[in-house]
Structure 1
Amino acid sequence: MIKPVIGIPMGDPAGIGPEIIVKALANDEIYKVCKPLVIGDAGVIEKAARICGIQTGVKTVSGVDVIDSDNRTINVVDLNIINPDSLEYGKVQEENGRASFEYIKKSVELAMEGKLSAIATTPINKPSLKAAGIEFIGHTEILAGLTDTKDPLTMFEVRGMRVFFLTRHVSLRKACDMVTKERLLDYVERCTQALQSLGITGGTMAVAGLNPHSGDNGLFGLEECENIIPAIQEAKMRGFNVEGPVGPDSVFHLALTGRYNSVLSLYHDQGHIATKTLDFERTIAITLGLPFLRTSVDHGTAYDIAGKGIAGEISMTEAILLAAKYSHPYSQWVKRTD
C-alpha cells in the first residue's frame, strides 16, 4: 500500500509549532502509516530540534518523490523566510505572521497539485497575521479563501466521538439567532455528506438542544419548538438518519458510548467544552468540504512556553495520524463528486 504524504505547514515560527513538529516526527508510529513533509523553514526546524534535544537530520527537499521515510530525517520544503538566529520566541511579529501564511499557501498549492494526500496544520497567531496585513481570521478562513470554498465544515474528533458546529466564531447572541430551520437542514445534509467523505455511512446523527432540557416544550425558550424540531422532522422526511433535539447535558455522553455517529453542536463552546474536557490533547479539528483533507491541533501558539522545549506533541501526533487515516477515503470521495 502506498503511504499518503501528509503536509505539515510549520505555523507561527515564534510559537510552539516547530517544537511539536520535531517531537511528533520522532514517533515511529507516524512513519508506519504516512510520509510526513514539513512546509516551512529548515533552519527553524533544526533550531527546534536542538532546543528539544532531539537527534534528527533535516533534509531540504524539492518534491515528494525524494522524501526519506524514516524518523531519523525530517523532510522540509524550505521557503527560507525566517532567519533562525534572529528569531524571537513568544512575540507577535509581522514577519512571522507573513511566514505562517506563506507556509499554508505553499501547502495548499502542493495539495491542489495532488502532491499531498492531506494537510495537518500547526498553530498560527491571529495578531501576527493581522500585523502582516493578512485579513483572514484563521486557518479555516485562509484555506477557504485559497481554494474558493464556501463555508467549509469543522468537525472535532476525540476518542471516536465526532462533533460538528452549526456556528463558530460569532457571539453567543448571534449564534442563537443563526439557529434557523433552513440553516439546520442545510447542515444536516452537509454533515451527512462530510461523514460519507470519511467513509462513515452508518449510524445516526444527533442534533444538540440549544436551551436547558432542549427547551422543555417551550418552558425555557422557543428555539426548539419553532426551528430545531421542525428542521429535524423535515430532515427525516428527506431520508436523513438524524435525531433530536437531544439535551445538551447528555448528548455528548451518548455519542461517546456509541449511540450516535456524530453530534451537531449549535454553537462554538457547546461542542468545544465537551470535547476538550473529555481529552484536551487528543481533540483534533478536521476541516471538511475543501478539495483536500485538513486536520489540525486544537490549541494555540502557546507563546508563554515557546522556545523552551517543553510543549507537548500529543495533539500534533494525533492530527498527523488522523490525516493519514482519513486521507484515502476523503480523496476518493472528492474524485467521485468532482
Structure 2
Amino acid sequence: MSNKPVVATMTGDPCGIGPEVVVKSLALGGMYEQCRPVVFGCTESVQQAVDMLGLKLKVRRVSDVEGAGLDPAVIDVYDTGQLDPKFITPAKANAECGRACAAWLKEMDALALAGKVQATIMGPINTDALKMADKFDQVVSVEVGKTYLFLITGPLRVVHLTDHIPLRQVCDIIAPDLVYKALRTIHDDFTRWGIPNPRIVVAGLNAHAYGEEDKTQIAPGVERARAEGINVTGPASPDSVFRWCIDGEYDVVLAMYHDQGHIAVKTWGFVGNCAMILGTPYIHMSVAHGTAFDIVGKGIASHEMMLTAMRQAANLASGKGFHKDAVAA
C-alpha cells in the first residue's frame, strides 16, 4: 500500500463549477505523484464534468478510502449516496445540494479525525444552498483564539488573528494572550509541516505600529512567544510586513484583522491562491472562489486555485513544507 498521504477533496456544490475544477486538476496527473487524491461528492456530477471536458478518465464510486487514489487514469469518488443526482440543477441553488455539501464535509472530517485522511479540501460551496438547507452554521469557520484563517498566495502567507469582526471591536478583542496563542499555533503547525524555526512577523494595528494597542496589547504577547524560543518579530509597521514576506525575509505574517491581511493578499496575487484553517487537528484547505453559476457547463472555469490547494495540502501533509510551484500545470 502507498505511504503517500490521502488528500480528500470535496467537489463543492455540484450545481456550480466545483466538479469541473476538481476534474481539471486531477486530469493533469501530477497529484498522484504527491498523494492519493480522493474526491468526496456525487459520482454522477464528477462523471458529467469528465464528459463535458472530453476526458478519457474513468470515474469510480468507492465507499472506503482504503486502496483509493492510486491510479491516475481513475478518479475515485467517495460517495455514500448523500445526494440523488436528480437534484443537481446546474447554475441554480437548491437545498438538497446544500445539505449534501454539509454531509460531505462531515464525512471528510470524520475520516480525518480517524487518521484515514491526512488533508481535506473544501470545493466552492454556495451560501444560498446552505442556508436553504439550514446548514450554513455547520460549515467550518474560524473561532477567535482557537482557529485562524490562513491565506497563501505564492511567497505571501498571512494568518489572521481575527476575521469577520467589525474594526471598531478589533481594538478591544486584541490581547497579549490572544496574540501569544496565535504565534504558538503558527510555530507548532509550521514545524509539523516541515518548516523548522519558522520566521514570523507580526503586523501592528496602528500606522507604523505606533499606538497604545501595539504597545500594551500586542507587544507583550510577542515577547512571551519570543521568550519560549519562537522566532518572531514585531509588532512592526503594517505597511511594510507584507513586502518583507514577499521578499523572503519572513515565512508568514500575523495580521490583526480581516482586511489588513486580505487587501495585501488580493493585491499581490488573487489567481492561484488558497486558504486554510490553522489550528485544526488536520490540514483543512479551501479555494477562494465561489460556485460561479454564470459559467457553469462552459468548460472555461479556472482550476488554478483548486490545483494550488491540492498541491499545498499534499506537500504539507507529507511534511515537505510549502509547494513553491503550486500552480504550475
The Cα of 1:85 is off from its aligned counterpart by 4.9
Instruction: Say whether the 8 Å CA contact 1:24–1:313 is kept in structure 2.
Output: yes
Tell me the distance in 2 between the aligned counterparts of 1:101 and 1:227. 37
* Secondary structure of 2:220's aligned partner: helix
Instruction: Give the corresponding residue for 1:323.
Output: 313
Could you list the runs of 4 or more consecutive aligned residues of structure 1 that deviate by over 4 angstroms after TM superposition? none
Instruction: Give the corresponding residue for 2:4.
Output: 3
Segments of structure 1 that go 5 or more residues without pairing to the other structure are 331-338
The Cα of 1:203 is off from its aligned counterpart by 4.2
Instruction: Give the corresponding residue for 2:327.
Output: none
Instruction: Give the corresponding residue for 1:19.
Output: 20
Superposed, 1:1-338 pairs within 5 Å as 2-67=3-68, 69-136=70-137, 138-140=139-141, 151-215=146-210, 218=211, 222-329=212-319
The Cα of 1:207 is off from its aligned counterpart by 0.5
Instruction: Say whether the 8 Å CA contact 1:44–1:82 is kept in structure 2.
Output: no
The Cα of 1:26 is off from its aligned counterpart by 0.4
Instruction: Say whether the 8 Å CA contact 1:42–1:80 is kept in structure 2.
Output: no
Instruction: Say whether the 8 Å CA contact 2:162–2:257 is kept in structure 1.
Output: yes
Segments of structure 2 that go 5 or more residues without pairing to the other structure are 321-329
* Secondary structure of 1:254's aligned partner: helix
AA of the residue aligned to 2:105 = I
Number of residue equivalences: 319
Tell me the distance in 2 between the aligned counterparts of 1:290 and 1:161. 21
* Secondary structure of 2:233's aligned partner: strand
Instruction: Say whether the 8 Å CA contact 2:7–2:35 is kept in structure 1.
Output: yes
The Cα of 1:159 is off from its aligned counterpart by 1.8
Tell me the distance in 2 between the aligned counterparts of 1:295 and 1:319. 6
The Cα of 1:277 is off from its aligned counterpart by 2.3
* Secondary structure of 2:293's aligned partner: coil
* Secondary structure of 1:65's aligned partner: coil
Provide, for residues 2-27 of structure 1, a one-character-per-residue CA deviation record: whole Å limited to 9, x for no partner.
22211111211112111111111101
Instruction: Say whether the 8 Å CA contact 2:156–2:252 is kept in structure 1.
Output: yes
AA of the residue aligned to 1:283 = N
Tell me the distance in 1 between the aligned counterparts of 2:277 and 2:252. 15
Change (3 A) 1:77 1:238: closer
Instruction: Say whether the 8 Å CA contact 1:43–1:83 is kept in structure 2.
Output: no
* Secondary structure of 1:120's aligned partner: strand
Instruction: Say whether the 8 Å CA contact 2:145–2:178 is kept in structure 1.
Output: no
The Cα of 1:122 is off from its aligned counterpart by 0.7
Instruction: Say whether the 8 Å CA contact 2:13–2:124 is kept in structure 1.
Output: yes
**How large is the RMSD of aligned CA atoms in angstroms?**
2.3
Tell me the distance in 1 between the aligned counterparts of 2:245 and 2:147. 23
Instruction: Give the corresponding residue for 1:335.
Output: none
AA of the residue aligned to 2:293 = Y
Change (3 A) 1:138 1:281: farther
